[in-house]
Amino acid sequence: MNGKRPAITIFGGTGDLTFRKLLPALYNRILSGSAPDGQDIIIIGRRAYTDAEYREKAREWVKKFARLPYREETFEAFAQSIRYYRMDFTNLEAYPALDIFLDEQGIETCVFYFAVAPRFFATIAEGLFQIGHAQGSQVILEKPFGESLDDARALNARLEAAFGAENIYRIDHYLGKEMVRNVQTIRFTNPIFADAWDAKHIACIQISALEDVGVETRGGYYDHSGALRDMVQNHLFQILSILAMERPAAFTPEAMHEEQLRVLRALRPLTEESIADQVVLGQYDGYREETNVTPDSKTETYAALKVFVDNDRWRDMPFYIRTGKKLGRREMEVAVVFKSPSPDIAPTVLLVKFQPTEGVYLQFNIKRPGDFEDIMPVKMDFCQSCSIANRINTPEAYERLLSACFHGERSWFSQWDQIETSWKYVDRLEELWGDRTPAAYAPDTAGPREADALLAQDGHHWFREPEVQ
């Protein structure tokens, strides 16, 4: 960024995202030495805090959620960079005063972070359009980007008019996760995988993002969004595009983006005839009694999809995607299930684990030890996050993505044409699904039985790493 005193200005500075993720990430950047000199943090919120009061709130959250150890002297230096500005960001008449405030703080350039519900994005953009500090500044947006294809297009047009396409960073924190970024290394630098990464050798690829909690305090947002818009349209389609992309000619942001986009554009369209065999939506029992959820809601809290990438590498091989709430465990992983040479031999499986632990698991076959001829599966397991040194030295997703934005690095941010393409798919899915009632499932189970049948019809099952005996 240009300017002597770049600042990050956070709208929604009193929300969970800021307290749990952004402030700890910014503190970690100070402690690790990666923060630029002179960076101010402007917090915008509606509550009546003084600078000192807000800094004490920040201290509580940094102590609790920062990756690196809490150090009093480091936090004090960090806290001095924080300024709190009380403002109703839905009031367009309040923005000229914000411009004056930034001038008074000596701030020349900004990164504006929209840590608010997506319905406020357009309003904030319209307000910032009025002020000088927004000209040529960068803006970071949380997902979901828009609430439908038409809404996303309108929002994008407004934001590009205000900031320019090159200054918009649509953050998807999943893309900042260590093992998501490691997928390309695992795939492209190991011939045992690189030479077999296609439909000829792979039976299916499974992408799972499971949660053990329900909607908690987000009922109002979630009832409008659902699992498809909250997780599939953004996070999981992005991971799909990384798994399925061709090796780029060069590992530049532009080349990577183009290969990911080709994957999304190659997704086989859903039809009236195929949706019953390719989509399962579910809702956990008790969801309709959650706070701010409508009593007759048909919002899905679970989604399982079978999708196809219609190109030479992947044609007719299924990618299975699932996500949901109240599934009894918190787990995100990708299972690459290779074809077995015989029905009575377990498949070779590469499992890339993103959370709660990070690492790589490989299941393969050997002869049973001893005077036996039968074959048994064994495993090799690398736990990235089991090492204290790895945990300390590995930036968290928000740290990594904030740093990338400050340096103008766009490789790991969602681009508009990717978002537009994935919205086309999800909009069509919702149109075909219509007013159907999601399948019910009991909390703390694996989800609706129909999701198991989705795989069983092709002779597959959801892979789960065997428990340690």
Query: pLDDT tens, 387-417?
Result: 665 555 566 778 888 888 887 787 778 889 9
Are 128 and 182 members of one domain? no
Q: What is the mean pLDDT of the chain?
A: 90
| 122/210: higher pLDDT | 210
Query: Does a structural domain hold residue 48?
Result: yes
Domain range for residue 256? 174-396+413-456
Are 103 and 18 members of one domain? yes
Catalytic residues: 235
Are 99 and 247 members of one domain? no
Distance, CA of 137 to CA of 258 (rounded, Å): 25
Helices (H), 164-308: 178-188, 191-194, 219-227, 237-244, 253-265, 275-278
Q: Pick from 121, 142, 163: which residue ends a domain?
A: 142
If you search the block for the tokens 């002179």, which residue do you land on? 38
Are 127 and 198 members of one domain? no
**Mean pLDDT to the nearest integer, 300-308:** 98
Are 240 and 324 members of one domain? yes
Are 301 and 442 members of one domain? yes
Query: Does a structural domain hold residue 165?
Result: no
Are 222 and 311 members of one domain? yes
Q: Which of 162-166, 247-251, 451-455 has the highest mean pLDDT?
A: 451-455
Please provide residue 97's backbone torsions phi and psi, each rounded to the nearest 5 degrees.
-65, -35
Query: Does a structural domain hold residue 65?
Result: yes
Into how many domains does the chain fold? 2
- 40 beta partners: 7
Distance, CA of 318 to CA of 307 (rounded, Å): 6
**Mean pLDDT to the nearest integer, 280-295:** 97
**Mean pLDDT to the nearest integer, 437-464:** 96
Query: Does a structural domain hold residue 406?
Result: no
Query: Does a structural domain hold residue 466?
Result: no
CATH code, domain with 47 = 3.40.50.720
Query: Does a structural domain hold residue 159?
Result: no
Are 376 and 246 members of one domain? yes
Q: Helix, strand, coil proportions of the chain in percent (round to 5)?
A: 40, 20, 40
CATH code, domain with 260 = 3.30.360.10
Are 129 and 58 members of one domain? yes
Are 180 and 126 members of one domain? no
Q: Give the containing element (helix H, strand E) for 257.
A: helix 253-265
Are 207 and 348 members of one domain? yes
Are 57 and 122 members of one domain? yes
If you search the block for the tokens 């803006």, which residue do you land on? 139
Q: Pick from 142, 160, 191: which residue ends a domain?
A: 142
